[in-house]
Amino acid sequence: MARVAIVTGGTRGIGEAISLALKEAGFTVAANYAGNDEKAAAFAERTGIKAYKWDVGDFDACAEGVKKVEEELGPVDAVVNNAGITRDGTILKMSREMWEDVIRINLGGCFNMAHAVFPGMRTRKWGRIVNIGSINGQAGQYGQVNYAAAKSGIHGFTKALAQEGARFGVTVNAIAPGYIDTDMVAAVPADVLEKIVAKIPVGRLGQAHEIARAVAFLCSEDAGFVTGSTLSINGGQHMY
């Protein structure tokens, strides 16, 4: 029987690439999404991957979402915490709501999902949790104190939870992508994007499938001795 994986924010961008990579690796994948029903339905029809709607920032919704996936697909063996939002602004222009929204979803979502799946993984003595951080959680970024704080928190969360899961066969790792060619990055003004690319030693943006392949490895049997690690995939922009 195929192992089951949940990918949060799994119907678009990097999340879609991760969902597809895990399916190709033999997982039965559940792709979580938060808002766009039409695009989620199109994704499910195009890929054959079932989409499930819930807010990862809601503790109870995560518990219910995981329960539904397990009832329909089987016990969850892997979770990829990819869902995230931005609410950018300098601190003088950032409202409390902008701060709390990003922390609740980007960092809180990791806790909520891990809390929902960890007991089962521990009991079955096998599990894979992969948290998607960011280069901006490692190096910081002007106008992103909320996003940088959340992503930096993910890296610490990963190291701590890895210690709890290690003796039960549950690995916990993070990936810190640099600038990836997604819709979010495509929305950056051309002149700004040009400056960003100029700072990347390999001279280009990353591709979503390059992140997805790393996730697939970390979720595999072969990655059982890798835990508590953060893999930076950023073209050499930030060596950490």
Secondary element (H or E) of residue 132: strand 127-132
Cβ–Cβ under 8 Å, residues 170 and 130 = no
What letter does residue 180 receive in the DSSP assignment? B
Cβ–Cβ under 8 Å, residues 111 and 153 = no
Active site residues: 147
Residue with tokens 């329909």, as numbered in its chain: 72
Dihedral sign from CA coordinates of 159, 161, 162, 164 = positive
Distance of alpha carbon 98 from alpha carbon 92, whole angstroms: 12
Cβ–Cβ under 8 Å, residues 206 and 234 = yes
Distance of alpha carbon 104 from alpha carbon 83, whole angstroms: 11
Cβ–Cβ under 8 Å, residues 12 and 183 = yes
Distance of alpha carbon 192 from alpha carbon 186, whole angstroms: 11
Cβ–Cβ under 8 Å, residues 127 and 117 = yes
